[in-house]
Chain A
Amino acid sequence: MRSLIDITDLSKEEIAELVDTAQDMIAHPEKYAHACDGKILAALFFEPSTRTRLSFESAMQSLGGSVISVSSAASSSAAKGESVADTAKTVSCYSDIMAIRHPKEGAALVLAKNALVPVINAGDGGHCHPTQTLTDLLTIYREKGRFDDLTVGLCGDLKFGRTVHSLINALSRYSGIRFVLISPEELKLPSYVKKDAIKDRGIPYEQTEDLMEVLPKLDILYMTRVQRERFFNEEDYLRLKDSYVLTPEKLRVAKEDLCIMHPLPRVNEISVAVDDDPRACYFKQVRNGRYIRMALILKLLKEA
């Protein structure tokens, strides 16, 4: 049974295929309106989520399928102490495909190992969030027309930001990629991610705390939120949360075709005034997320 737990479960060719399908879905949504008629997606959200849950539900309904869902751990049998493995076996009886978000790292893998239907990891704690990465890749492709030869700046929380780790892992497979890692000292990219995905692959990179110094050279600026829920200590969160705030004034030095991305939700790291800048792509990202999830659901159901 094919599932998607980590972005590296997909080859470059499969990512290209998903991007192509998603682009066709954007251009011709009517072609796919009944592609999943009669199929049921179980959306198991044991951790709060607005965007990802609605995106999955919208994607399945756009394919003609239907959705059953758990929208919080408190309202599910998990609150009674049911294991993820038992949840997998039970929900397999009700659905054709599952998407899971869970606060525990590795929960999606445990679900997939016990499920009888394909499983999509919709975020397992601070570990992986592959459909966000697919969303990011579709956005990069639609904005830049390529995955090669890009200078990609990643800014903010590079330590706990799972979307950053997954995106680095995904992009490091393409040629001509250069990474610029912009973060305060305490939120630097973990050394193992840097070693495995950047250094060992011979990819050029630089690390800095100064966004303004590197902004003019970037093709893509991926902003992230400092996530309160990843901190054990509230004091550390409060000290670091305002490290970087992107404003129209700062963007004056950036390239005219810069692509500004953010996995959302934002708190204050991108000023609302930036939203009207044509370089702001983060709401396009949200739209792309729906279509790439449609492409993924369709692929996994076809392969099931």
Chain B
Amino acid sequence: MNVDSIQNGVVIDHITAGRAMRLYELLQLDKLDASVALIKNVSSKRMGKKDIIKVDAAIDIDLDLIGYVDPGATVNVIRSGEIVSKESIPMPETLTNVLVCKNPRCISSTEQELPQIFKLTDRENKIYRCLYCETKAEPER
């Protein structure tokens, strides 16, 4: 399968097979007025199978969101057809405005323009808790 190479844009590589569509949704790539390729189940020596997303536009990608949904995915930034940076995205220590606290008693449910901040409290079990009320985030599906 051929997908045109990118001149200026972003390639999200090493996505766990099956997770690309979820990332596509959360990164709101559907709202982007640019070519976006979502490639599923690509053969990978390291992973067996993987997904890839190619975005043909020099956009800012929310790395925390990628690290939360699929830690270990790599983000390659392409400029003039060359890879100018390549980064494996770890699970972020904090998430800002990625998750929404579901606790109706939390101050974030009423306070004007308060950022929704979650802290990683258990890396092994991928548990994030609201900074304000410590309610556990719903696990990412």
The interface residues of chain A lying within 8 Å CB-to-CB of B134 are 105, 127
Taking the complex as formed, is B19 at the interface, i.e. its CB lies under 8 A from any CB of chain A?
Answer: no
Given contacts A125-B105, A126-B105, contact A105 B133 (CB under 8 A): yes
Contact A110 B111 (CB under 8 A): yes
Contact B133 A125 (CB under 8 A): yes
Bound Cα distance A126, B132 (Å): 12
Taking the complex as formed, is B28 at the interface, i.e. its CB lies under 8 A from any CB of chain A?
Answer: no
Taking the complex as formed, is B73 at the interface, i.e. its CB lies under 8 A from any CB of chain A?
Answer: no
Specify which of B103, B114, B130, B136 is in contact with A110 (CB 8 Å cutoff).
Answer: B114
**A residues 95-131 in Cβ contact with B at 8 Å:** 102-107, 109-110, 124-127
Bound Cα distance A260, B135 (Å): 31
Bound Cα distance A126, B135 (Å): 11
Between B107, B108, B135, the greatest number of chain A beta carbons within 10 A of the residue's beta carbon is seen for B107
The interface residues of chain A lying within 8 Å CB-to-CB of B109 are 104
Taking the complex as formed, is B85 at the interface, i.e. its CB lies under 8 A from any CB of chain A?
Answer: no
A83 (CB) vs chain B CBs: closest residue: B112
Bound Cα distance A40, B130 (Å): 32
Taking the complex as formed, is A254 at the interface, i.e. its CB lies under 8 A from any CB of chain B?
Answer: no
Contact B103 A83 (CB under 8 A): no
Contact B132 A110 (CB under 8 A): yes
Given contacts A103-B105, A104-B106, contact A109 B112 (CB under 8 A): no
Contact A104 B110 (CB under 8 A): yes
Residues of B within 8 A of A (CB): 103, 105-112, 114, 121, 130-136
26 pairs, CB–CB < 8 Å, chain A vs chain B: A83-B114, A84-B107, A84-B111, A85-B112, A102-B107, A104-B105, A104-B106, A104-B109, A104-B111, A105-B103, A105-B107, A105-B132, A106-B106, A106-B130, A106-B133, A107-B107, A107-B132, A109-B107, A110-B107, A110-B111, A110-B132, A124-B107, A125-B105, A125-B133, A127-B134, A192-B136
The 3 lowest CB-CB distance pairs between A and B, nearest first, are A106-B132, A105-B133, A104-B107
